Amino acid sequence: MKFLDTSFLVDYLKGKEYAINYLEANSEEAFYASTISMFELFRGELKTGNNLETLEENLEWLNKKELSNDAAKEAAKIEKNLEKQGKKINLADILIAGTAQKVGAEVVTGDTDFEKISGIKDVNPES
């Protein structure tokens, strides 16, 4: 199972070649995104005055995974471990990581925040 992070989805929606190539090369995989990522995408669309329905249509192929109570617990543990190490990432990425870790998914991302989380499986196809 591949969990697509918001940064990767933004790059895909912008038509970045690495994101499109990654999805095509892994087309046999099931792709998921957290509803936290969907919130971030919706928020961005509203800020730019774009249409939310168009965004949903462009991502209808993507399976959505809600933040469960167990994933929220996992996210809280991740945040505590990051704080102990003096590392900081945004809350949305912590919640996404908790959900991905709980379901045993690899996070596909376009940024380096997930590299700071010990125990998370992540890949950055852009690098």
The pLDDT of residue 127: 76
Contact partners, residue 46, CB within 8 Å, separation at least 6: 52
Radius of gyration of the chain (CA): 14
- CA–CA separation, 116 and 103 (whole Å): 19
Residue 126 confidence class, pLDDT cut points 50, 70, 90: confident
The pLDDT of residue 72: 97
CA-closest candidate to residue 110, choices 35, 21, 39: 21
As a whole number, the mean pLDDT across the chain is 94
Residue 33: which H helix or E strand, with range? strand 31-34
Residue pair 92/57 in contact (Cβ under 8 Å)? The answer is no
CATH of 2-123, one of 3.40.50.11890, 3.30.1010.10, 3.40.50.1010, 2.30.130.10: 3.40.50.1010
Residue 79 confidence class, pLDDT cut points 50, 70, 90: very high
The pLDDT of residue 51: 87
Integer CA distances (angstroms), 53 to 24, 41, 66, 106, 124, in order: 24, 12, 19, 28, 28
The pLDDT of residue 7: 95
* pLDDT tens sequence across 35-67: 999 999 999 999 988 889 999 999 999 999 999
- CA–CA separation, 24 and 73 (whole Å): 34
* pLDDT tens sequence across 18-38: 999 999 999 999 999 999 999
